[in-house]
Amino acid sequence: MAGFEFKVHAIVDVELTNLCGANCSFCPRDATPHLGVMRPEIFAKALERVIEYRRQRDFAIELLGSPRTAPPAVSFCGLGDQVLNRHLTDYIAAAHDSDLGVVVNTNAQRLDRAHSQALLDAGVDVVMVNGGEIGERYEAVYELPFEQLERNVRDFLDLTPDPERLCITLVEHDRDPDRVAAVRAHWTAVGVRRFRHLTLINRGGTLEHTHPDYATHPHAAAARRLLSADDALCAAPSLFPFIAYDGRYLLCGSDWTRAVVLPTIFDLSIHEVLRHKDDVVRNGCDVCDGCNHHPHNKVADMIGAVEAGDATPDDLEALVDRLRRSSAFVRQSYDGVPPAPPIDGRRRIPVRVLDESDAGCERETSVAM
Ligand SMILES: C[S@@+](CC[C@H](N)C(=O)[O-])C[C@H]1O[C@@H](n2cnc3c(N)ncnc32)[C@H](O)[C@@H]1O
Ligand code: SF4
Ligand code: SF4
């Protein structure tokens, strides 16, 4: 799919595994309660759900008056390194054959020349490489060898005539724009042409000391006065539907502790589960209350920034306006979906729980790629 563009409304995250060999300082992987790999029958159902969602979503987007220019896509992403699922190339091919764009997220340590070729042959559109540091800083922050990452990036670019198929993700983990610019310049010199900049997310409050404690934020009450509860609906759950490796829907990519228990892909469609998610955000939960993406928390931070002289009252007004419009979008996104039945927290899918030694074993022995 040449010229593949990201259009957020059409991307579903499917987590092929939450195992990972890295230990990025900005990633709270150790807070996740169990580890595993998506089984083929769960993948088959997940793909079915994404295809079904594409039809429903296109319809909803038309209703909202937006053009349907974006190719729908599945993004293999989640709380781990997606290349560690040994069926990855089969899954890319299956999604590609279903006329979906395919994005793979990885730290690229295992993406050697043979694997890169296999991914390209299977029809991957974009490989998103987590490469927000270089050299010794990379080794300190990611706890992985930089030489290997750079070799794999060069090999991938060498194998494809289209450098846009590789995108480096730059997480602004220490909020140092000069550092980010230096890292970007390094990758540009290597031949990388596509970048995604991510600001630091506190993952529903799981990352400590990176953001204010929103429970005691001095501007929390003022934020609630400026933005009603109806206008404070987070758009992440409807913009980025998330299917976890065990077939359960996650609230969003920030619920690393899996605190919110939602139905599985065998119970409800992606579209149907949106109302459940909205109920969760509306009624409040620990993960949303502590999240720097929550609309009230964003407004509280912005009020603080205005007070400190780092932003203007116009910035605050523009933010509130944007959040109101995005809440309206969230409400419309599940229009026509019947009220959600009560949530059944029982697991219907056996989950293979791996302890730390199992996880190491998975990485060393069963990850045939
Ligand atoms: C969660 S990772 C999972 C996929 C894969 N392991 C990887 O690192 O690309 C997906 C993306 O989220 C980014 N990420 C991880 N922790 C983050 C945080 N606290 N804030 C913002 N982005 C983060 C990573 O850099 C990566 O680009
Ligand atoms: S590579 Fe991705 S999943 Fe692994 S620790 Fe880093 S950000 Fe987290
Ligand atoms: S506010 Fe809730 S739904 Fe939105 S990103 Fe944060 S944790 Fe996810």
Please write the tens of the pLDDT for every residue from 306-339. 999 999 999 999 999 999 988 887 777 766 555 4
pLDDT value for 271: 83
Q: Rounded to an integer, what distance in angstroms lies between the CA atom of residue 290 and that of residue 351?
A: 28
Q: Rounded to an integer, what distance in angstroms lies between the CA atom of residue 262 and that of residue 284?
A: 15
pLDDT value for 47: 96
Q: Rounded to an integer, what distance in angstroms lies between the CA atom of residue 205 and that of residue 226?
A: 23
With a 6 Å cutoff on the Cβ, whether 105 touches ligand 1 is yes
Beta bridge partner(s), residue 37: 17
- Phi, psi dihedral angles at 75 (to 5 degrees): -115, 115
pLDDT value for 329: 79
pLDDT value for 361: 28
Q: Tell me what percent of the residues of the chain surpass a pLDDT of 70.
A: 83
80: left (phi over 0), alpha (psi -120 to 50) or beta: beta
Block residue for tokens 């007070």 = 307
Q: Rounded to an integer, what distance in angstroms lies between the CA atom of residue 261 and that of residue 344?
A: 8
CA of 130 to the centre of ligand 1 (A): 7
Q: Among the atoms of ligand 1, which is closest to the Cα of residue 207?
A: 19
Best of 16, 75, 81 for a ligand 2 pocket test (most atoms within 8 Å of beta carbon): 81
pLDDT value for 337: 55
CA of 275 to the centre of ligand 3 (A): 14
Tokens at 301, concatenated: 């931070």
Q: Among the atoms of ligand 3, which is closest to the Cα of residue 294?
A: 1
Best of 76, 107, 110, 207 for a ligand 2 pocket test (most atoms within 8 Å of beta carbon): 107
Give the distance, in angstroms, between the CA of residue 202 and the centroid of all CA atoms in the same chain: 13
pTM exceeding 0.95: no
Q: Among the atoms of ligand 3, which is closest to the Cα of residue 237?
A: 3
Q: Among the atoms of ligand 3, which is closest to the Cα of residue 252?
A: 8
Task: Count CB neighbours of 283 within 10 A.
Answer: 9
CA of 335 to the centre of ligand 1 (A): 31
Best of 198, 252, 323 for a ligand 3 pocket test (most atoms within 8 Å of beta carbon): 252
Under-50 pLDDT residues of the chain: 1-8, 339-369
Cβ atoms 369, 88 nearer than 8 A: yes
- Phi, psi dihedral angles at 249 (to 5 degrees): -75, 135
Report pLDDT digits (tens) over 97-145.
998 889 999 999 999 999 999 999 999 999 999 999 999 999 999 999 9
